[in-house]
Amino acid sequence: MDHVVTLNAGSSSLKFGLFATKAGEPCVICTGLVDRIGSAEAHISARLSGGETLFDEVSDSIRDHDIALDQVLTLLQQEFPEARIAAVGHRIVHGGPDNDRPVLLTPDSLRSLESLAPFAPLHQPYNLAGAYAAMKRFPDAAQVACFDTAFHRTQSWVNDTFALPGEYYDMGVRRYGFHGLSYDYIAGHLQQTAPDLHAGRVVVAHLGNGASMCAIKDGRSVGSTMGFSPLDGLPMGTRSGQIDPGVLLYLLEQKGMEAAEVSDLLYRKSGLLGLSGLSNDMRALEKAGTTEAGNAIAYFTYRIRREMGSLSAALGGLDALVFTGGIGENSALVRQQACEEMGWLGIDLNSDANQSNATTISSDMSRVQVMVIPTNEELVIARAALNVMS
């Protein structure tokens, strides 16, 4: 039987999955994570589809992504010696302006994706390192790139562009949007389970360490909060989200900060961590109960409400609001605050359903259906790898 491996490499983490194929559909066998790559406390863990722990170990020898990948692939080959890896699906953050679907990776397509690294310097090089390592390990397997930007390629020019002279658009300075694999999963899930909503106007809030929102009409992206980079829009664990570009000019020109310092500030020291002075982790903030932690959550949910209004305007109204991602799926507090005073848009939460993370958390009176749908980016990658392979 053919098997598919999925890889999702971040700057210090590597998520992976192993899928069997049944009747042409991927069927998960195990998923796992290597995090804190490069530190003395790198951690590698894997769980079977039923939730049983397969592996859980701290290691001081995972110095880089090559070693992490090598350990993951060795682990999978040891635990599942019968698996025949026919395809490896890679999450690639940036597909540029033209890639609107997954593609087979070849030496030529890899080179062209490398040229996009300056657009996503903190993500793209790691994604591609995973692809190179997997090619070496499984030279006969199809290597398939699945882009976070692809889902948004249906957006109109007014959504895509910044108000800069046209030559900047031509050089690639435009809004790309991210988290596309997650939005693709949610749109597909709605198509199967709630076709009326899928055909309507939906806002999806993907709230994790990275956070963004997307307006989807008839299953297609019409607007998103992330733009040129994964920095724009909502505040995140450590990223600032939307910020007046004048602030950056002030820091660079008046305060003498170096570009690298500003980048570090915006990507690693801001967001929930910067506001709370405590943690980037929503669970820790909810537990802390300090004024600063409360303020960080209040800012996060205020920006969600503002973006909800903006994306609903782009859609011409709202039929459904979907929460997903680690925070969206688990934090009743964030969902409750995000929906507070949104009655004008037709949103009314059922507080018991919200507390229990039910699938539908809106009341019977609510004009807008509010839902909690766990995302599954790995499944989208595995499906795409099988499709492209066949």
Among 45, 112, 330, 350, binds ligand ADP (CB under 6 A): 330
Q: Can you tell me the distance from the alpha carbon of 88 to that of 312, in angstroms, rounded to the nearest whole number? A: 37
Query: What are the angstrom distances between the C-alpha of 288 and each of 74, 79, 268, 293, 298?
Result: 40, 40, 21, 7, 14
Work out how close the CB of 326 gets to ligand ADP at its nearest, in angstroms, rounded to a whole number.
2
Whether residue 108 lies in the annotated active site: no
99 binds ligand ADP (CB under 6 A): no
Number of residues counted as binding ligand ADP (CB under 6 A)? 13
Closer residue to ligand ADP, CB minimum distance, 319 or 378: 378
283 binds ligand ADP (CB under 6 A): yes
Q: Can you tell me the distance from the alpha carbon of 149 to that of 215, in angstroms, rounded to the nearest whole number? A: 14
Closer residue to ligand ADP, CB minimum distance, 281 or 348: 281
159 binds ligand ADP (CB under 6 A): no
Nearby residues of 16 by Cβ (< 8 Å), 6 or more positions away: 5, 6, 7, 8, 31, 32, 33, 34, 46, 72, 76
93 binds ligand ADP (CB under 6 A): no
Sequential DSSP letters for 137-205: H-TTSEEEEEESSGGGGGS-HHHH--SS-HHHHHTT-S-----HHHHHHHHHHHHHH-HHHHTSEEEEE
Instruction: Compute CA 28 distance to the chain's CA centroid, rounded to the nearest angstrom.
Output: 20
326 binds ligand ADP (CB under 6 A): yes
Among the listed residues 148, 184, 232, 319, the single catalytic one is 148
281 binds ligand ADP (CB under 6 A): yes
Q: Can you tell me the distance from the alpha carbon of 99 to that of 80, in angstroms, rounded to the nearest whole number? A: 34
Q: Are 33 and 8 in contact (CB under 8 A)?
A: no
Among 208, 223, 235, 346, binds ligand ADP (CB under 6 A): 208
Residue nearest ligand ADP (C-beta atom): 326
Work out how close the CB of 197 gets to ligand ADP at its nearest, in angstroms, rounded to a whole number.
23
CA dihedral 81, 53, 129, 70 (to 10 degrees): -50
Closer residue to ligand ADP, CB minimum distance, 173 or 288: 288
210 binds ligand ADP (CB under 6 A): yes
230 binds ligand ADP (CB under 6 A): no
Q: Tokens representing 57?
A: 């170990």
241 binds ligand ADP (CB under 6 A): no
Work out how close the CB of 286 gets to ligand ADP at its nearest, in angstroms, rounded to a whole number.
6
32 binds ligand ADP (CB under 6 A): no
The number of C-alpha atoms within 13 Å of 171 and in the hemisphere containing its C-beta is 6
Among 20, 282, 345, 347, binds ligand ADP (CB under 6 A): 282
Closer residue to ligand ADP, CB minimum distance, 319 or 377: 377
The CB density around residue 33, as the number of other CB atoms within 10 Å, is: 15
Angle subtended at Cα 319 by Cα 204 and Cα 94, rounded to the nearest 5 degrees: 25
User: Which residues would be at the binding site for ligand ADP (CB under 6 A)?
Assistant: 208-210, 237, 281-283, 286, 325-327, 330-331
List the catalytic residues. 148
